[in-house]
Structure 1
Amino acid sequence: MDVPRWLCCVSEELVTGLERGPIFGYRHVQTLLYFLLLTYTYSMRSVLSVAIVAMNTKGTSPNPNIPTYTWDNQSVVLSSFFWGYLLLQLPAALFGKKMGVKKLLAVCMLTNSLFCISIPILAEHSGSVGVIFARVVQGLSQGCIPPLVHNLLGHWAPPSERSVLGSFSYSGAIIGNILALSTTGIISSSWVGWPFAFYLFGGFGLKWIVLWLIFGADSPSSHKSIGAGERIYIESSLAQDCSMVIPTPWKPILKSLPFWAITVAFIGANWGSSVLLTEIPTYLDKILEYKIKSDSLLSAAPYVAMFLGAIIFSHICDILINREIISRGTARKIFSTIGTFLPAISLILLGFIPKNRAPLSVALLIINGGISAGGLCGFQVNHLDLSPNHAGILMGLTNSISSAFSIISPLIVQYIVTEQDNPFQWRVVFITTGAIYIATNIFYVVFASGEVQSWNEVEEERTGLVSD
């Protein structure tokens, strides 16, 4: 059944009169696939953060055949993923929009999974250089995934359900971190050893490709099994799809202080999360002297707290906005401040806690993860406030720029921490990270906005500032 062209621009009020389709429909199946996609990709991203400790520590596994190495460039290895990650986000968004997402996403996941599986082999035959090569390729393939998922949600998530479907999809990233960080240490200390962790998560990725090719679709109109009622409901409710033909106002975007406020906030968040993800397992091992199995579970704990914090903070934020207790812009600034200032304080305090108070250090790390979730309903969603029509482009630009700092932070940690068992050097790392959190949030609070910007609208074409 073909959907009339006028249905794509129908008002949201008129949509309520259309059949809504099944309570659990194909749009939910697609969302579950996105959730699993992000779960597996983030598992493959995070596994090295814990495994690298076992890769460079003799006797971690009872199996004497499990290889170990002595690398003095661990931070370079950990940062190499982001060398590729920032390069293809915008090209992927543009190519996926023009050529379709389904096959491109399958190719990205296939590449990512195969190179994850190849890391133990490359480590044995090419050392850290081989692992760096694999991680760069993984970064290139994974960098395509967020804009492609955003593209798919734009076709499958009705406005009335977008918060639920979108949040569930992207929560896969948090679950992926939890999965990898909580199990990798256990696997590494077992008889199968650290190589099996890469085989396991890479295998999950290959399994997902099969599910995606069978059940995935670019849009409701290209899905072979969706009912007419659900298809009409989804496509007619997405009135903003009509705005996708609007040329991108590149100059106004790049001149917009509210846009740069979000980007600067992302820079601070990426810096902090990169330190938390890539360096904390080493800190737990070398300073707090937790065994590898404990390291793995403790490294996952901040992400469990983040998942719970995201649920709590997003609910409170929506109540404050919907009941008009505070403005949307004020809400974004408050929750961004919660998600940056308090983690900054906890990280700075972490550097001054002595080794014999290790449980307190662990508690601060967990609190840091939980409170940082405030940013998810702060700057993280602020693109949609500024420009619903160009939110995908804004996110692509922000991610590309801020991802560069995920490369820089581990390298600076390696420069500062020349002796991994030196607590004073780690103190400098935590103070620096806290200062960056605070400085970037101050910029955000001063220049951020919760209002739709003038360059969001078609009328901007008349000013001559909009370009194809």
Structure 2
Amino acid sequence: MSNKVGKENRHVECVYRSLGGSYVALFRRNSGVIEKSPVAYSPPTFGKRHSQVLILFALVFLAYGIRVTLSVAIVAMTTPSASSNPNIPTYPDWNDKSIVLSAFFWGYIIPQIFAGWIAGQYGPKWFLVGSMTVCGGMCIVLPAMAALLGSLGVMVSRAIQGLCQGFIFPSVHCALSRWVPPEERSRLATLVYAAGPLGTVAGMLLTGVISASNLGWPTVFYLYGAGSIAWAAFSALFSANSPSSHPSISEAERYFIENSLGHTEDKPKPKTPWTAIWTSVPLWAILITHCGQNWGFWTLMTEIPTYMSKVMNFDIKANSALSALPYLVLWILSFFMSFASDALINRNILTLGHARKLFNSIGLVIPALALFFLGITPGDEPIRAVALLVVAVGFNSGVYCGFNVNHVDISPTHAGTLMGITNGISNIFGIVAPLMVQFIVTNETDATQWKIIFFLTAIIYVATSLVFNFFGSGEVQKWNDKPED
């Protein structure tokens, strides 16, 4: 095919997608003639977008491991007989364990909105590299802080770790909005965020085994500190802010990603429409749901080891294994959920918005029912209690295809900022939830007091799920870009 275009004698290359087949055509304008020469359009089955997702997967895996190690380690830190090595230091006089567990969130909520905005302006890469470097360093010094300053030293170390990790999820959301096309959004985004429960499983198991061995609980923090710094070095070498800045991505894959997303990061960044964002009903639906999710998630995450130890009377090895089991199931179920979600959307069985609401409901209502029955389970039925915990945590994986990725749906351009807003505000409940447990559960061996915690969490799950179903949206909002874009 050739077309006359006048008397121009310029050499021009542009990308064109044929309606009759999948290829990119290069148009060369020479002596007034455009010639089309097809080149491969189909992106690679495993391309740079997948390698970037795997780097983010490793990041979230380590980040969650760092978060949860203390939930198990604090049992060993305050129990003199926990380790087979008598030289491992312990602190049995600490009576503020729930406060220590909540300290991570003191720093975590501070940078969220700023982190999302600045990652959108300058790219997420170096913020992630820097935050994980410092976070890893604070892991390494945590045992020394405990020895020198007691529980206060651990609180300071954890608060700084939280401050660093406050940059992670807004930056990850920003990276996903640039690298993941909508056709693959549910499964690739879920792969990244499901690394959290997998990291939880690994962290709990590793912490339980090492804390009970001759190595003792300090070794856990040394390992995670070294792993975080190693990840930062690897990411500095091999990650990129966007397809347009990756040095070795193929033109076919770059075109596939940018064409699917409908934008390129080469264009000037639009101004952030703060007024429109804060008055957006779909964003408030995400925010309220995020608050409910974090209340339940962090209540169970931080308190399951104590519940298993004090009510079910499991020792630290069995405790760590059983505490990790629900998160292993969550990780496995997340893949079924994400592939089912993408299939329903891509086959036009459900709209994107309806799919988000369906899986969000699965992720909150089924866990709520499990927590209700857990609350009426006697303390002498540990098998039933563990099974219900597995259901409560495992089916929570539905939210990864629900509100958790909905920021990118309603505003790809400002996804990092939106995640910063909802993640920052919602994680206040990561502080409040453990403190509420300490206030209500005055006797950790009393199953009746734990019942109140489970019932309260179930009510919050159902209420926030209804809010998302009524007010959530899968449509790109008008304020996503400036009108002229």
- TM-score of the aligned structures, taking structure 1 as reference length: 0.90
Residue 166 of structure 1 corresponds to which residue in structure 2? 189
**Which residue is 1:466 aligned to?**
none
Secondary structure of the corresponding residue to residue 67 of structure 1: coil
* 1:49–1:460 distance in 2 versus 1, CA, 3 Å: farther
Q: 2:337 aligns with which of 313, 319, 343?
A: 313
Structure 1 contact 336–379 (Cα < 8 Å) conserved: yes
Alpha-carbon offset, residue 320 of structure 1: 3.4
Question: Partner of 1:198 in structure 2?
Answer: 221
Distance in 1, Cα, partners of 2:325 & 2:334: 14
Q: Which residue of 1 is the match for residue 97 of structure 2?
A: 74
Q: Match for 2:180: what amino acid?
A: A
2:67 aligns with 45
What is the CA RMSD across the aligned residues, in angstroms? 2.6
Determine the structure 2 residue equivalent to 1:436.
460
Aligned residue for 2:7? none
Deviation at 1:277, TM superposition (A): 0.5
In structure 1, the partner of 2:358 is 334
**1:362 is matched by which residue type in structure 2?**
V
- Cα shift at 1:95: 2.6
Rounded to whole Å, the distance in 2 between the matches of 1:215 and 1:399 is: 27
Q: 2:165 aligns with which of 136, 142, 147?
A: 142
Cα distance change, pair 31–323 in 1 and its aligned pair in 2 (3 A): closer
Amino acid at match of 2:330: M
Quote the offset at 1:276 in angstroms: 0.8
Query: Which residue identity does 1:218 align to in structure 2?
Result: N
Q: 1:329 to 1:59 in 2, by over 3 A?
A: same
Query: Which stretch of structure 1 is more off in the superposition, 204-213 or 71-80?
Result: 204-213
For the structure 1 residues 226 and 374, does the alpha-carbon distance in structure 2 shift closer, same or farther, using more than 3 Å as the test? closer
The structure richer in helix per residue is 1
Corresponding residue for 2:303? 279
Deviation at 1:449, TM superposition (A): 2.6
The structure-2 alpha-carbon separation of the partners of 1:139 and 1:267, relative to structure 1 and needing over 3 Å to count, comes to same
Cα displacement (A) at 1:87: 1.2
For structure 2, the residue ranges without an aligned partner over 5 or more in a row are 1-11, 25-39
Over 3 Å counting, the alpha-carbon distance change for 1:309 and 1:13 in structure 2 is farther
Alignment partner of 1:64: what SS? coil
CA distance in 1 between partners of 2:155 and 2:136 (Å): 15
Does the 8 Å contact 2:131/2:167 carry over to 1?
A: yes
Is the 8 Å Cα contact of residues 190 and 334 (structure 2) preserved in structure 1?
no
Is the 1:11–1:239 contact (alpha carbons within 8 Å) kept by the matching residues of 2? no
| Deviation per residue, 1:155-213 (Å, 9 max, x gap) | 43345544444333333222211110122111111111111111111111122122222
Q: Relative to 1, partners in 2 of residues 1:15 and 1:134: Cα closer, same or farther, differing over 3 Å? A: farther
Equivalent residues of 2:177, 2:415 under 8 A apart: no
Q: What is the match of residue 17 of structure 1?
A: 23
Q: Summarize the Cα distance change of 1:258–1:192 in structure 2 as closer, same or farther, 3 Å threshold.
A: same
1:183–1:297 Cα contact (<8 Å) kept = no
Query: Does 1:217 pair with 2:240?
Result: yes
How far, CA to CA, are the matches of 1:321 and 1:228 in structure 2? Answer: 27
Q: Distance in 1 between matches of 2:346 and 2:45?
A: 25
Give the number of the structure whose residues are more often strand, by fraction.
2
> Whole-Å Cα distance in 2 between the matches of residues 167 and 390 of structure 1?
19
Deviation at residue 322 of structure 1 after TM alignment: 3.7
State the TM-score, normalizing by the size of structure 2: 0.87
Q: Is the 8 A contact 1:84 1:140 kept in 2?
A: yes
* Aligned match for 1:59, one of 38, 56, 81: 81
For structure 1, the residue ranges without an aligned partner over 5 or more in a row are: 462-468
1:292 matched to which residue of 2? 316
SS at match of 2:263: helix
Task: Find 1:31's aligned residue among 33, 53, 64.
Answer: 53
Secondary structure, aligned partner of 1:458? coil
SS in 2 for 1:356: coil
Give the direction of change, closer, same or farther, for the CA distance of 1:14–1:325 in structure 2 (3 Å limit). Answer: closer
Q: Does 1:450 align with 2:456?
A: no
Structure with the greater alpha carbon radius of gyration: 2
